[in-house]
Amino acid sequence: MSPAKDREGCENGSTFKKKAKKIRTKVTFHRPRTLKTNRNAKYPRISALPRNKLDHYQVLKYPLTTESAMKKIEDNYTLVFIVDIWADKKKIEAAVKKIYDIQTKKVRSRQ
């Protein structure tokens, strides 16, 4: 390139353009929202799925064998069990059906 062409480019201002300064109209600065990508795990963080700790054999702990429970068994054909505190009525009913192969008419539970 010749020195004359260099001067010509500088005079026109085509080589260096000065960026216009942005005029701020508000006092507070709000960070611009940028692209948010989802996490991409390289490997699972847990090796195995957690097992169900409240299976049928854990729901029913043991049958109650007090005198009042025996009276209920003889008079009302009612079975009395001590059950896990986290078991709800549907889990109790399913456990009795699976372990003892009997249909339950009603489950009454209390804390």
Residue with tokens 């929202």: 33
DSSP string over 33-100: P---PPP--SS-SSSSPPP-SS-HHHHEEEE--SHHHHHHHHHH----EEE-TT--HHHHHHHHHHHH
Conformation bin of residue 30: beta by default, left when phi > 0, alpha when psi is -120 to 50: beta
pLDDT in tens, 31-64: 999 999 999 999 988 888 888 889 999 999 999 9
Report the predicted TM-score, pTM, of the whole model to 2 decimal places. Answer: 0.56
CB 74, CB 51: distance < 8 Å: no
CB 54, CB 84: distance < 8 Å: yes
Q: How many alpha carbons lie under 13 Å from residue 108 in its C-beta half-sphere?
A: 3
pLDDT in tens, 83-108: 999 999 999 999 999 999 999 999 99
